[in-house]
Structure 1
Amino acid sequence: MFKKILFVAFLVISFLEVEAQVYEYRIVTSIESVVPMGLGRSRIISNQEDKDYMEYTSSRTVESKKQNKSKRKEAKVDDFDETKILNFYSATGINFQNIASNDALLSSKVNTMIEQGWELSFVTSGVESDAGKGDGTGIFITRFIFKRIKA
């Protein structure tokens, strides 16, 4: 009986300890151009400066129609990492070597983040692709969302 009580107490304490953890999050974004012949700008971007979103947020209610007067340029971060990667297309079409090269660079970034104590939590992506003849623009964007226990 004592062992059962001890085991239940251990489980409860473990659960409370896990619930008490506070996480911090970091987002890394890859932007891969689908513009052919190297004309696009593909990058891996990660911020090195934190911003408080509340400084750029206003709340509107039925009673208060106050508009947000913060300046967009004040929201910009000056400290960020920018890693050049390759475009999906070359002059002849899809370039699989470029895709493999981007995968190698993205893997390196993810592995570095994990070595620094970050855990990959979510990955989300979207695309705005070439709409056909005469368009010639498009990007493939992926956001890697990492978390780690806040110190």
Structure 2
Amino acid sequence: MLATTIFAQEDLKPEFEVKVITSVESIIPDGLGRSRLISANDKRDYKKFTSTQSEDDNTRNTSKRKDIRVKDFEETKLLNFYNVAGIRFQNIAANDAVISSKLTTMISEGWDLIFVTSAVESDSGEKDGNGIFITRYIFKRKID
């Protein structure tokens, strides 16, 4: 007789892991902003911070912000797009070099870059003076 093994679903491990790297580049005039490349070292299970809403049950998730916050992360300094004289193209080139180094390192560590998305919250006029350019690099890697 042929022996059959049945695996419980909870015994199955994910085949891949995903990692998000975020660059935040300041577009605040006069170089007053902060620009960084951020990578979380700590993991979070989104299920702990999620609730499902329905017509019959609208109970909200009661997670505390301190439980969601990640304090173990890598922060790489980048340069701001602007300095006192205006836009600084050397700073953009320097950021490109630093970000390229990080992406190259991740690829050499077995991560595959699968998606890139970016957005801008730009200076909205004379009284605002604030803005950021944010890019998310999404990687995946096979779990051994």
Query: Are 1:34 and 2:24 matched, yes or no?
Result: no
1:91 paired residue among 78, 84, 87: 84
The offset of 1:135, in angstroms, is 1.2
The offset of 1:73, in angstroms, is 1.4
Instruction: Look up the SS of the partner of 1:84 in the other structure.
Output: strand
Match of 1:6 in 2: none
Instruction: Look up the SS of the partner of 2:80 in the other structure.
Output: coil
Normalised to the residue count of structure 2, the TM-score between the two structures is 0.88
The offset of 1:79, in angstroms, is 0.7
Instruction: Look up the SS of the partner of 1:49 in the other structure.
Output: coil
Match of 1:145 in 2: 138
Number of equivalences:
131
Mean alpha-carbon deviation: is it higher for 96-105 or for 35-44?
A: 35-44
Normalised to the residue count of structure 1, the TM-score between the two structures is 0.84
- Is the contact between residue 36 and residue 87 of structure 1 (CA under 8 Å) also seen in structure 2? no
Give the AA of the match of 1:58.
S
Instruction: Look up the SS of the partner of 2:17 in the other structure.
Output: strand
Give the AA of the match of 1:66.
T
Q: Which has the larger radius of gyration?
A: 1
The offset of 1:22, in angstroms, is 2.0
- Is the contact between residue 32 and residue 85 of structure 1 (CA under 8 Å) also seen in structure 2? yes
Query: Are 1:136 and 2:129 matched, yes or no?
Result: yes
The offset of 1:111, in angstroms, is 0.5
Please, what is the CA RMSD of the aligned residues?
1.1
Identity percentage of aligned residues: 56
The offset of 1:43, in angstroms, is 0.2
Structure with bigger helix share is 1
The offset of 1:37, in angstroms, is 2.5
Q: Which string of whole-angstrom CA distances, capped at 9 and with x for unpartnered residues, describes residues 70-95 of structure 1?
A: 11111011110000100111111110
1:51 paired residue among 44, 47, 63: 44
Give the AA of the match of 1:100.
A
Match of 2:98 in 1: 105
Instruction: Look up the SS of the partner of 1:37 in the other structure.
Output: helix
Query: Are 1:78 and 2:71 matched, yes or no?
Result: yes
Give the AA of the match of 2:96.
D
The offset of 1:41, in angstroms, is 0.8
Following superposition, which runs of at least 4 residues in structure 1 exceed 4 angstroms of deviation? none
